[in-house]
Amino acid sequence: MFDCIIVGAGPAGSSTAYHLAQKGCSVLVLDKSSFPRYKSCTGALSPLVAQWFDFDFDFDPAIDRKLRRIRYTWKLGDEIASELQTQDPIWIVKRDWFDAFMVQQAIAQGITFQDNTTVTGVDFSNSHWTVRTPQETFQSHYLVAADGAEGPLAEWLGFSTPKLRQGAVFQIPTELPGEDAALNFEFGLLKNGCLWCFPQSQGYIMGGITFLGRNQPDYNSIFATYANSFGADSQLGQIYRHPLKLWDGNRALHTQQAVLVGEAGAIVDPLSAEGLRPGMYSGMKAAEAIHAALQGEADALASYTAAMHEWGNNIQWAQRIASVFFRVPGIGYRVGIKRPTMTTRMGQLLAGEIQYSDIANRVLKRLSTGFLPGRS
């Protein structure tokens, strides 16, 4: 019998596993894929995450690029370029390599990892979980659903599913700019959403998501147009579609001896689609709660939900900004993105120096006064 079984070895699952093992718990992580495995994701990650692992290991081998330069465009024109003033640049990671690296860190702490193992059902009886796979069954005191946006665990555990938004990645091998490499963000080309393009070691990786509405974007032609603006041959590119479970308000993230972490719990920023950092944070918080529960602390899992609601109380402002910004992106670009302080604030948000709640009122006011004729 394991102390805990974690289903899913993405960043949220491996973060939970790492922290639980470090506290001396026995942990089994199961993943249906063969690792390293592909995950549709553009891989931008705040270096802030290193502190949650007490700088115990060096993330450098898992980082593909580090970037400070940011470029914004509106319908491929009206370009603004800027530099992040944060202490550390933003990391770009390749998810197959990064996720396998994080699993290795957890294995070094003593977890058991089994890939190629699809969880087909879970049952709770006699105060423990039974986890079924086609090959064998496993038992544990606690269960963690870390199976991402498309995994079945949340529904099996009785949680309702928030609306999924359709995202896509376009991976394109091409020559890259050297010194000039930047984090590129494009507004206006994708209705009700945005596009972004980051350099990786073998080409560009582009991402797109709609934050509002029900339209199904024609990603083939949108990415082709965006790729051409970088001088890349879109014929060489490959599209990977993947849904996103964006945060949609505070709700319980725990049930009887089980918790949801990462995207299984919709722990994804609804303004930026950032899921890596929040997922790893939720893993750390879930491990603290499960460890406390194993020590006999009553209501320990409720404290996990409470900790993530604190995160949610701040992130609700991101949701409010998104719901106004993506309705009137042209105004948003003019009165928000083009402001010289925009990149500074974005850097501070990524570095954890400020929170959405610190800037939301000003941003929302600016967006609403932007409607007024003659105001900018």
Ligand X SMILES: Cc1cc2nc3c(=O)[nH]c(=O)nc-3n(C[C@H](O)[C@H](O)[C@H](O)COP(=O)(O)OP(=O)(O)OC[C@H]3O[C@@H](n4cnc5c(N)ncnc54)[C@H](O)[C@@H]3O)c2cc1C
Residue 167 touching ligand X (CB under 6 A): yes
Nearer CB in complex with ligand X: 13/217: 13
Residue 102 C-beta: closest distance to ligand X, Å: 9
DSSP 16-39: HHHHHHHTT--EEEE-SSPSS---
Nearer CB in complex with ligand X: 147/367: 147
Residue 222 touching ligand X (CB under 6 A): no
Residue 192 touching ligand X (CB under 6 A): no
CA distance 374 to 371: 9
Nearer CB in complex with ligand X: 29/335: 29
Task: Map residues 235-254 to x or -, x wherever contact with ligand X holds by CB under 6 A.
Answer: -------x-x----------
CB atoms within 10 A of CB 73: 22
CA distance 244 to 266: 8
Give, as ranges, the residues between 103 and 122 that touch ligand X (CB under 6 A): 118-119
Residue 58 C-beta: closest distance to ligand X, Å: 20
Residue 277 C-beta: closest distance to ligand X, Å: 6
The correct pick among 4, 6, 19, 43 for binding ligand X (CB under 6 A) is: 43
Interface with ligand X (CB under 6 A), residue total 42
Peptide bond into 61 cis (omega under 30): no
CA distance 328 to 65: 33
Give, as ranges, the residues between 278 and 297 that touch ligand X (CB under 6 A): 279
Q: Do 161 and 154 meet the contact criterion of CB atoms below 8 Å apart?
A: yes
Residue 12 touching ligand X (CB under 6 A): yes
Residue 270 touching ligand X (CB under 6 A): no
Give, as ranges, the residues between 122 and 161 that touch ligand X (CB under 6 A): 146-148, 151-152
Per-residue 3-state assignment (H helix, E strand, C coil) for 65-134: EEECEEEEEECCEEEEEEECCCCCCEEECCHHHHHHHHHHHHHHCCCEEECCCCCCEEEEECCEEEEECC
b/e map of 205-236 (b: 16 or more CB within 10 Å)? bbbbbbbbeeeebebeebbbbbbeebebebee
Nearer CB in complex with ligand X: 261/367: 261
Residue 336 touching ligand X (CB under 6 A): no
Interacting residues toward ligand X by CB under 6 A: 7-13, 30-33, 37, 39-45, 118-119, 146-148, 151-152, 167-169, 207, 242, 244, 262-264, 268, 273-277, 279
